[in-house]
Amino acid sequence: MSARSVEVLATGPLCTVQDQGRAGSEHLGVPRAGPLDRPAAALANRLVGNPPGHALLEVTLGGLALRPTAATWVAVTGAAAPVGVDGRAVGLGRAELVPAGAVLRLGAPGAGVRSYVALAGGLDVTPVLGSRATDTLAGVGPPVLAEGQVLALGTPTAPPAPLEAPAASPTGRPTGLLRVHPGPRPERLGPRGLAGLCATSYVVGAESNRVGLRLEGPPLGLAGAGELPSEGMVLGAVQVPPSGLPVVFLADHPPTGGYPVVAVVEAADLWQCAQLRPGEPVRFTRAR
């Protein structure tokens, strides 16, 4: 056990450890995992002086409480959760020194879904297949965070960023407008192709999670019925199952799926899928 560690007092609905994710194991059936809002996670690490791939916490809808054993620089980014240190409100999007034994607490965010909590030195959990990321579907990597757990911290390698506070999110508020590129099977959408997908208004479904953003709205008609044999999928793949309701596959997506992938969300827009709440609108538009 490292001398520096942090005790988990509460986790909220879902809290996972994430780093840059796994690469090169999809052919064994292992998804990449990693933070859903990568820009926000990278900012949190940068603020506390960590390299971009250090392990941090992805907190879904707040509710996290942590107590470090030694004074530790901490930064919270992403969803605008109220943050307190021993009851004193502190700023989002800037490094804060949390004293030894003090309690860092995240409330429920007023907007967005996922907050990122980086601690100087990063979380020193055991890597699995080259990554410390929790995969919620395949069950690879550290388990979902639980109350009472103690997480070791690595040794800080650089000082925290200066205190001129940037925003909590480097990307702003999500607009719900997702740019899409053609996927391998756009012809399954019929003669209108991607135009049909882009002409439809959706809202985020309540079943959305780290596996996929599930959309609700008028179902798309599919041309050419019949399932496809399993085939590999990429991050951001827009798959249309027989229900006609698209799913945008995210970091914990399964390696194969038998339904047609008609489009792929522009990588720079994927962070929005981390922060859109159930009921919020989504539209697709052709990437240029």
Partner 1 sequence: MSGLGGARVRPFGPTALLAEVADAPTALALATWVRGSGVRAVEVVPAARTVLLDGLDPADVAATAALLEAWRPDPEDPASSPADGPTIEVPVVYDGLDLDDVAARWGLSRDEAVARHTGLELVSVFCGFAPGFAYLSGLPEEWAVPRLDSARPRVPAGSVAVADSWCGVYPSASPGGWRLLGRTEARLWDVERDPPALLAPGTRVRFVVAEPS
Give backbone dihedrals phi and psi of 116, rounded to 5 degrees, phi first: -120, 130
According to the binding rule CB under 8 A, does residue 201 interact with partner 1? no
- Of 59 and 261, nearer to partner 1 (C-beta) is 261
What does the DSSP 8-state code read for residue 61? S
Which two structure tokens, joined as six digits, stand for 83?
């943050």
What does the DSSP 8-state code read for residue 46? H
Q: Of 82, 84, 166, 182, which lies in the binding site for partner 1, with binding defined by CB under 8 A?
A: 182
Q: Of 198, 267, 280, 286, which lies in the binding site for partner 1, with binding defined by CB under 8 A?
A: 267
CB of 203 to partner 1, least distance (A): 24
Which two structure tokens, joined as six digits, stand for 35?
């933070």
According to the binding rule CB under 8 A, does residue 233 interact with partner 1? yes
Instruction: Return the beta strands (E) in the chain as ranges.
Output: 5-11, 14-18, 56-60, 64-68, 72-78, 83-85, 88-90, 96-98, 104-106, 114-119, 150-152, 177-182, 202-204, 212-216, 231-232, 237-239, 247-249, 256-257, 261-265, 281-286
CB of 98 to partner 1, least distance (A): 33
Q: Of 184, 190, 205, 217, which lies in the binding site for partner 1, with binding defined by CB under 8 A?
A: 184
β-strand 281-286 against 177-182: which pairing, if any? parallel
Q: Which stretch binds partner 1 (CB under 8 A): 40-48, 106-114, 214-222, 226-234?
A: 226-234
CB of 209 to partner 1, least distance (A): 17
The contact set with partner 1 (CB under 8 A) reads 23-24, 26-30, 128-129, 138-140, 181-185, 229-234, 236-237, 254-256, 261, 263-264, 267, 287
